[in-house]
Amino acid sequence: MSLPLEGLSAVVTGAGRGLGRAEALELARLGAAVVVNDYGQPGRDGSGEASAAPAEEVAAEIRAAGGRAVAHTGDVADFAQAHGLIELAIAEFGKLDVLVNNAGILRDRMIFSMSENEWDAVIRVHLKGHFNTTRFAAAHWRARSKAADGPVYGRIVNTSSEAFVAGSAGQPNYAAAKGGIVGLTTSTALALARYGVTANAICPRARTRMTEDVFAGFERPEQGLDPLAPEHVAPLVGYLVSPAAAPVNGQLLVVHGGMVAIVERPRVHARFDTKQDAFTYDELDALLTPYYAQRPTGETFAAVELLGLKHA
């Protein structure tokens, strides 16, 4: 019996640690040949000297288990290096079939205190990094489709966050980047569907180097798998890049702790029409003020409450 991803090749960014590592290992376990990308900086804020060790170690782990893997230690936020990453997959494995974008950094600050550099750095790694790899993967699939005169196999899984869905007061840069990734994903899904390519985004929750302080107050179980283990997320990524997920396109899914939730696109909650040629201030005041007055203040969901986790 063949494995679901047998014969496919994949790129996983940010795969030296945490979520990316778990995803790379899962794709390899399911039969894919994997390019393990990680720039290797030790600081979760993107600080410190770049190192080949994280990517090389995961690639070696895959090979030791009988899989195929190579390491790439470039910066996906650099346009040329992202191009090199996609070209490496094609050169090593003959083609690219799967792209999983996971690389990111954090530079948290309240909006009134954030520096320009803190904003730019996070947008660059998350949003531009996702764009760079997607751009070159998309060009590869389009060229292959034209040469074949028909659809080809292509899968993209991007990493968003509930910081975009629910807001995150101390992460305006991160929340904005993750919102942008959803927009990039849905646009890509529409643009590439004709070539046989799907693009979806996930909002994962996992205890990693990036979230160690966020989940520091949540207890680990004495037995069994931690609800926040990255291994809860990786199987969904494996499914989304598989042939079985061909009908799944342009979707946003929340995943953690044995739970997958499909997020609806925004819907109109209420509509008001002017009784005149155009709205006036007074008419809007008469319509909207009572509407918002009867709604609970700040109708956003609390991330901690959704998780159902208990403080340690």
Angle at 21 between CA 61 and CA 79, to 5 degrees: 110
For residues 58 and 15, the answer to whether their CB atoms sit within 8 Å is yes
Is 178 assigned a catalytic role? Answer: yes
Please confirm, yes or no, whether 168 is among the known catalytic residues: no
Q: Are 99 and 155 in contact (CB under 8 A)?
A: yes
| Residue 240 CA to its chain's centroid (Å) | 12
Q: Which of 128, 145, 160, 178 is catalytic?
A: 178
Which member of 161, 168, 195, 242 is catalytic? 161
CA distance 14 to 258: 23
- Contact call for residues 196 and 223 (beta carbons, < 8 A): no
The catalytic residue among 153, 160, 168, 174 is: 174
In the annotation, is 174 catalytic? yes
Tokens of 291: 């509407």
What's the CA gap between 284 and 290, in Å, rounded?
10
CA atoms of 97 and 141, how far apart (whole Å): 8
Task: List residues with catalytic annotation.
Answer: 161, 174, 178
